Amino acid sequence: MLTMLTASLSSLGRSHSAARIISQSRAAAFSAVASGGDPIATPATASTPTPTPSPPTETTESRRIRALSLYRQILRAADTMPTRNRQNYIKRKTRSEYRKHMTLTDLDEIVFQLRLADTNLDTVLVQAEHLSRLFSDPEYQNYN
C-alpha cells in the first residue's frame, strides 16, 4: 500500500513531502530490522539518533510568497476535481483556512501550516486524478 501511495505521489511530477516521509520511514524501519532493532520503535527508543532539524533558512518574505503560491495552486487544483460540489468544497475550505491563519506570527506554527498546505495540495491532486479516472470508468457507471 505504501508503494502504491509513493508511486502515485511521485507520478505527479513535483516535489512531494509525503512521498519523502514515507520513503524515509520505510528506510528507517528496514535499517532497524537489519540491525536487529525494533522497526516500530519510537525515536526515543530507536537505536539510531534522530537528526537535529536545521535552522530555518527562509525569510518572512519567502514564506509569504510560498504561502500565496500554495494558495493559488490549491485553488487551481480544485478545478481539476470531477464534480462542481467537490470543487466548491475545496475552494471554500482553502479560503477559510487561509483567512483563519492569516495573522499567525509564531514561526513554528507558520512552518507547520505551510507543510499542511503542501500536503493538502498533494491530496487534492491525487484525489482529482483518482476520481476523474473512476468517474470515467464505464464499469463505475454501471453501478449507478
Query: How many angstroms separate the CA atoms of 90 and 74, rounded?
Result: 8
Average pLDDT of the chain, as a whole number: 74
Contact 140, 130 (CB under 8 A): no
**32-59 pLDDT tens trace:** 444 555 444 444 444 555 555 555 577 8
**How far is 6 from 16, CA to CA, in rounded Å?**
9
pTM listed for this prediction: 0.58
Contact (CB, 8 A) for 130 and 84:
no
Specify the pLDDT at position 94: 97
Q: What is the structure's pLDDT at 140?
A: 72
Copy the grid coordinates of residue 57: 533558512
The rounded distance, in Å, linking the Cα atoms of 34 and 46 is 13
Phi-psi region of 37 (alpha: psi -120 to 50; beta: other; left: phi over 0): beta
Tell me what pLDDT residue 52 has. Answer: 55
Dig out the grid coordinates for 95 from the structure: 479560503
Predicted pLDDT at 15: 42
What whole-number distance in Å separates Cα of residue 11 and Cα of residue 4? 10
Where the chain has pLDDT below 70, the residues are 1-56, 141-144
